[in-house]
Amino acid sequence: MVAEQLLPNGVTDERVLEVMSAIPREEFLSGRLRRHAYENRALAIDCGQTISQPLVVALMTQVLMPRPEDIALEVGTGSGYQAAVLSRLCKKVITLDREPALAEHASETLGRLGFTNVEVAVADGSQGWPASAPYDLILVACATPEVPSALVEQLAPNGRMVIPLGSSADEHQDLRIYELHQGELSSRSLFPVRFVPLRTG
């Protein structure tokens, strides 16, 4: 995975490469999908959701430039794999999913594998998680037509957020990085992606 998918496609952060080499991606998939764990494609999981392809996980993580002291928020827990990657690079990760079954399964998997600095919560991701705000990093793993204002409000000074913008899972969306400097939010486009939509409520 690292040699054939990540290194040739712009993943240069040694910490990201090391973490993704060490975490057993197959542990976040059901038995029938485990043999596909390291293929460079998204895979369907329960509740109509997906686990993102390894390259997208690596590039989204890399662009956030995680530091050991950072507190991170993830919107869209899914299998828990992205939260696991972030947890090895940050002080703490809060990850949210609106599907109780996914949150429960991800929490069990993360606990079984020893990821003790991840908190999984069932919540409307568009509202963020005010109880632990502000966040140095926010990673949104589902697409939305516009950036939820609650997430912007929960960014720490000099915080960074990566989020796919788009209204349909059937079309490519624009993955963007937002950075908050001196109260001003700037953004730039990264590359086209295709994520399941962010469901509110």
Bridge partners (DSSP) of residue 180 are: 185
Q: From CA 193, how far away is CA 47, in angstroms rounded?
A: 20
Residue 167 catalytic? no
Residue with tokens 């369907």: 44
Angle between helices 54-64 and 14-22 (to 10 degrees): 140
Q: Alpha carbon of 79 to those of 67, 125, 171: distances in Å? A: 23, 16, 23
User: Do the beta carbons of residue 47 and residue 101 sit within 8 Å?
Assistant: yes
Structure-block tokens of residue 2: 């690292």
Structure-block tokens of residue 115: 């990821």
Which is catalytic among the residues 21, 30, 52, 79?
52
| Pairing label, strands 92-97, 118-122 | parallel
Q: From CA 176, how far away is CA 3, in angstroms rounded?
A: 26
Q: From CA 127, how far away is CA 137, in angstroms rounded?
A: 15
Catalytic residues: 52
